[in-house]
Structure 1
Amino acid sequence: MKETILKTSGLTKCYGKQKALDGIDLTVNRGEICGLIGKNGAGKTTLMKVITGLTCVDNGTFELFGKADVKEERTRIGCIIDSPAFFGNLSAYDNLKYYCILKGITDLTKIGKALECVGLTDTGKKKYRNFSLGMKQRLGIALAILDEPELLILDEPINGLDPIGIADMRELFRKLNKEAGITIVISSHILPELDSLATRFIFIDSGRIVKSLSKEELDDECRVSLNITCDDTSKASTILERYLGIKEYKITDSRTIKIYDPAQEEELRAALEKEGMQILSVESKGVSLEDYFRMIVGDRPESGR
């Protein structure tokens, strides 16, 4: 059974009359890379701030690592929500050393480990003010993993990076997840990146979770297929295999089959109707994550938070 490390129930947070979170129920299991998807103001950042203790909720509860008393358990979380404050005249090492003192971390070997993990061991005495945007983002990640967290919360960590920088960060997150065993909750508006990185997707709109599905379920929803609605899917599947050699299909309910093998609509219709099948509809489907996001949340304008 999967270990649950984050579970929320009915989380509600208001700013004045506006509900930033409206009854959020969320479960994150160990080892997942959970992508939060939503428009600006959908509630993603507020949710992350609640989890990390940067703001409190009005109603609802949540558990961390199976415990309702989350104060101590928050020490097992690393996060980047607002941009970390680093000293421009200090090196990467010295900036992290400052935070070690601030956090009460006495084992300074953790600095070298964090810098090595994010690829900043060769920066030497170079001052933070002279870092590229990608290097600054990496140092932020190094700070987030400085105390070897089990859960990493990342709010828009690849904003402003060029394609090479984005690819580097993607590989870094995979490394942290696979090699260091860190569970990651990440938000981003760069949906193709989330699509290639996340193992589960949470769609948030107007403070509510409107959809939650695994990578496999998302791929199935978005994958190009020919959807046939007919009167007998069991009989139809036999015809597809026996007469057309189609092996890759999925019966989704008593009347619908999704066919993933390349196939011509006319050929399918002819074969099924020849065997006395009643074809109710044939429809080609398949969308990108961006298109799927639009389908889920619609085209309403962004809200305030």
Structure 2
Amino acid sequence: MRNFTYSRATSVEDALQGIRENPQATVIAGGTNLIDRLKGYLEPSSHLIDISRLQMQQIESLSTGGLRIGALASNTAVADHPIIRRDYPLLSRAILSGASQQIRNVATVGGNLLQRTRCSYFYDPAFPCNKRNPGSGCSARTGINRLHAILGASEHCVAVHPSDFCVALAALDAVVEVEKLSGKREIPITEFHRLPENNPEQDTHLQPGELITAVILPNLPVAKFGVYLKLRDRTSYSFALVSVAAAIDVRDGQVETVRIALGGVAHKPWRAMVAEQFLQSQPATLDSFKQAADLALQEAQPLEHNDFKIEMAKRAIERALMASVQKGAEK
């Protein structure tokens, strides 16, 4: 572990001032991913700013009917919150599928948004990795790439985003609230994370000096019918081979509203917009869901060891939509 200095922020403004004064600083809260990177010499930061004691843990109802979740709310608090369990059940299920209880107790909303890939080549300095050392090459493209991306990848990086929580947020049209000394802004979750393109070392569209302060869940009635399906090598908190967050509302046998997001297949949570557009006003049948799944994966570009993900993702989409329809029928 590299040597670093440490300070504890007393307010959001204090944290932002610390970031301005030290552009190489990194904020730390739960630290469940950051500490791993520090131990592996993957984190270049020379200074840590502890924000864990700031008052950003609240989960509050909005006048619009949605929720504002503070960036320091723990994964446990979010997954167990009665309104989230009732109105956004797929978010609760995604969190519960993502880590052990001990990790959920300390991991935070903001940290979940910022966790980095678990690509083995990124974590092993013996291999070139453009995400770790830009311009060095991508070992996964010609190496063991069973767990890697089939959508949205580039010649520079085929790593996948590891979060279950963020896949659920993508299906829920969530918005990330960020703040810097000059003011606040909101970033739709589908625009928060980046595809690798030529700069895979950049995971998000956060600007220098910005701090995540909250996630906003809109009033989304279809979310009540949402399901989260995670396919993995083992059920003991393994990362997804493929995951699907899906919610569908059916009226008179036809699809009225639908949301589909995929995990384990791209550098960011992958919103299946083309499939959603196709399903609009279509009959809510398995045949329609099969066609939508084909459209969702039509641009997939598998690597040597992960072409199985295409069929797996299609089947997972069909299964998740069918499960969501069955829950919708209970209303």
TM range (shorter): under 0.3
TM-score normalised by the chain length of structure 2: 0.21
Mark the structure with the bigger radius of gyration. 1
Report which structure shows greater RCO (CA 8 Å, sep ≥6).
Answer: 1
- Higher helix residue share: 1
